[in-house]
């Protein structure tokens, strides 16, 4: 039963969310803000003893420099790292990107994380190298990176971004990284649509139980996230002891309707209370300039009435398409496709749309942003109307 407990869920106390306006990645400034942000979480932080191993789990989706806003920013990680070193903990940093990236060291370099590792003598862990353990919840088994079990605490450090499949990728989705990369392909195939995929994400979040989730929302991403969108200044950092409630808070902050947010729909289907009472600390929202972020084009599918999907579903789709002049024929997309829907071609790969499950893993792993989404004429029309 303990496995199913929602982090931060205590019937006697509301969830805690701390919010601070923050526009700069200057580490000195950020450290002060992180100190203030985490001040209300003393009860949780008291559990960390001197010498405890604390895993910082940022978002290492693919090899992009910090300014692309694809990965958690190194200055943000550094400020959080300093905080936990100061607490007496022994932090390590790690994640598990897609298995198509054969050389995670190069990802650590390009994202700026390797530099932090060198300067602070902190190990950078590629989860696939640590092995995995089977964990079960709701009668389902999941392979969870062994390192998650081996450390004393996990601190979840998501980047605030849009996502082609799940609309947004926030705290809950970031813990999907606990699945070793080579196992991710299978899970994408087993949970092919946005709501079933989000149910699986909720399971993994509940199994991995981060002590705190701290959001990098200084520069986020809008549009075709998680890898091919545009950076947008969101100007905040936030923290919570329950990423489910924290994610719902941020969803509202970004102007996304909860009824269209797959995580919310998944939680409701699973019987999880997605909107728990929370206590807000830090800056008041009245002084924050809210941004309505541009969502991925595939989000339009969420606005098609179910009656239409049932009756003329074959005309309602969003599919990947290669931008010929940008593609280098590196074949990353072929390897990332859980459905075997991308075939090797002479000049570039081509899609076998009959097999495509619209998971958009190919877009995530394309290093050159050479894949875009095309919508069926009916979905395009619904956008205009």
Q: Tokens 């619904």 belong to which residue?
A: 382
Closer residue to ligand SF4 (CB): 174 or 358 = 358
Asked if 210 is part of the footprint of ligand SF4 (rule: CB under 6 A), the reply reads no
- Pick one of 200, 239, 248, 371: the residue that binds ligand SF4 (CB under 6 A): 371
Q: Any alpha helices (H) in 14-170, and if so which ranges?
A: 27-38, 42-45, 74-86, 104-110, 113-120, 146-150
What does 100-124 look like in DSSP terms, one character per residue? T-S-HHHHHHHTTHHHHHHHHT--E
Asked if 376 is part of the footprint of ligand SF4 (rule: CB under 6 A), the reply reads no
Contacts of residue 347, Cβ cutoff 8 Å, sequence gap at least 6: 324, 329
Asked if 372 is part of the footprint of ligand SF4 (rule: CB under 6 A), the reply reads no
Asked if 322 is part of the footprint of ligand SF4 (rule: CB under 6 A), the reply reads yes
Cα atoms in the 13 Å half-sphere on the side-chain side of 231 = 15
Contact 237, 37 (CB under 8 A): yes
Binding window for ligand SF4 (CB under 6 A); candidates: 72-80, 229-237, 304-312, 319-327: 319-327
- Pick one of 36, 133, 137, 330: the residue that binds ligand SF4 (CB under 6 A): 330
The C-alpha atoms of residue 177 and residue 218 are separated, in whole angstroms, by 21
Asked if 301 is part of the footprint of ligand SF4 (rule: CB under 6 A), the reply reads no
The C-alpha atoms of residue 235 and residue 277 are separated, in whole angstroms, by 24
Greatest distance between any 2 Cα atoms in the chain: 63
- Pick one of 109, 331, 372, 382: the residue that binds ligand SF4 (CB under 6 A): 331
Contact 216, 73 (CB under 8 A): yes
Please, what is the minimum distance in Å from the beta carbon of residue 356 to ligand SF4?
3
Binding window for ligand SF4 (CB under 6 A); candidates: 37-45, 78-86, 276-284, 323-331: 323-331
Binding window for ligand SF4 (CB under 6 A); candidates: 52-60, 105-113, 225-233, 341-349: 341-349
Asked if 165 is part of the footprint of ligand SF4 (rule: CB under 6 A), the reply reads no
Please, what is the minimum distance in Å from the beta carbon of residue 173 to ligand SF4?
17
Contact 12, 207 (CB under 8 A): no
Asked if 196 is part of the footprint of ligand SF4 (rule: CB under 6 A), the reply reads no
Contact 138, 270 (CB under 8 A): yes
Q: Which sign does the torsion angle of CA 326, 331, 332, 337 carry?
A: positive
Please, what is the minimum distance in Å from the beta carbon of residue 194 to ligand SF4?
12
Please, what is the minimum distance in Å from the beta carbon of residue 225 to ligand SF4?
15
Closer residue to ligand SF4 (CB): 80 or 228 = 228
Asked if 228 is part of the footprint of ligand SF4 (rule: CB under 6 A), the reply reads no
Asked if 320 is part of the footprint of ligand SF4 (rule: CB under 6 A), the reply reads yes
Please, what is the minimum distance in Å from the beta carbon of residue 187 to ligand SF4?
13
Q: How many residues does the chain have?
A: 385
Q: Which of 351, 303, 295 is nearest to 323 (CA)?
A: 351
Q: What share of the chain is helix, strand, coil (3-state, %, to 5)?
A: 40, 25, 35
- Pick one of 16, 228, 349, 375: the residue that binds ligand SF4 (CB under 6 A): 349
- Pick one of 368, 374, 380, 383: the residue that binds ligand SF4 (CB under 6 A): 368
Asked if 342 is part of the footprint of ligand SF4 (rule: CB under 6 A), the reply reads yes
Asked if 362 is part of the footprint of ligand SF4 (rule: CB under 6 A), the reply reads yes
Asked if 187 is part of the footprint of ligand SF4 (rule: CB under 6 A), the reply reads no
Peptide bond into 283 cis (omega under 30): no
Asked if 298 is part of the footprint of ligand SF4 (rule: CB under 6 A), the reply reads no
Asked if 375 is part of the footprint of ligand SF4 (rule: CB under 6 A), the reply reads no
Asked if 106 is part of the footprint of ligand SF4 (rule: CB under 6 A), the reply reads no
Q: Tokens 């990353």 belong to which residue?
A: 332
* Exposed / middle / buried, residue 156 (Cβ in 10 Å: 0-12, 13-18, 19+): buried
Asked if 358 is part of the footprint of ligand SF4 (rule: CB under 6 A), the reply reads yes
Using CB under 6 A, list all residues that contact ligand SF4.
Answer: 320, 322, 327-333, 336-337, 339, 341-342, 348-349, 351, 356-362, 366, 368, 370-371
């Amino acid at each position: 039963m303990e496995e199913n407990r929602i982090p931060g869920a205590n019937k006697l106390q509301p969830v805690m969310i701390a919010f601070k306006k923050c526009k700069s990645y200057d580490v000195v400034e950020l450290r002060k803000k992180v100190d203030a942000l985490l001040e209300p979480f003393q009860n949780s932080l008291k559990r960390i003893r001197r010498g405890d191993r604390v895993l910082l789990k940022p978002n290492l989706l693919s090899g992009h420099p910090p300014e692309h806003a694809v990965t958690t920013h190194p200055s943000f990680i550094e400020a959080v790292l300093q905080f936990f070193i100061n607490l007496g903990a022994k932090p390590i940093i790690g994640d598990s990107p897609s298995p198509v990236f054969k050389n995670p060291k190069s990802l650590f370099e390009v994202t700026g994380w390797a530099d932090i590792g060198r300067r602070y003598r902190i190990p950078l862990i590629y989860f696939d190298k640590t092995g995995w353990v089977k964990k079960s919840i709701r009668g389902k088994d999941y392979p969870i990176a062994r390192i998650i079990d081996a450390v004393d605490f996990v601190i979840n450090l998501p980047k605030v971004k849009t996502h082609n499949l799940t609309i947004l990728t926030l705290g809950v989705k970031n813990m999907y990284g606990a699945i070793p990369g080579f196992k991710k392909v299978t899970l994408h195939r087993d949970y092919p649509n946005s709501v079933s995929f989000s149910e699986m994400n909720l399971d993994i979040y509940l199994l991995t139980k981060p002590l705190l989730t701290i959001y990098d929302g200084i520069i986020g991403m809008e549009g075709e996230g998680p890898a091919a969108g545009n950076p947008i200044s969101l100007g905040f950092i936030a923290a919570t002891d329950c990423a489910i409630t924290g994610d719902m808070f941020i969803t509202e902050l970004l102007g996304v309707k909860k009824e269209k947010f797959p995580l919310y729909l998944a939680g409701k289907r699973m019987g999880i209370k997605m909107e728990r009472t929370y206590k807000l600390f830090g800056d008041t929202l009245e002084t924050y300039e809210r941004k309505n972020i541009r969502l991925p084009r595939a989000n339009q599918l969420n606005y098609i009435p179910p009656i239409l999907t049932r009756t003329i579903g074959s005309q309602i789709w969003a599919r990947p398409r290669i931008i010929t002049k940008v593609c280098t024929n590196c074949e990353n997309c072929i390897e990332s496709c859980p459905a075997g829907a991308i075939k090797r071609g002479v000049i570039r790969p081509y899609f076998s749309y009959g097999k495509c499950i619209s998971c958009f893993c190919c877009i995530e792993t394309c290093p050159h942003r050479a894949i875009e989404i095309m919508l069926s004429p009916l979905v395009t029309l619904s956008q205009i109307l």
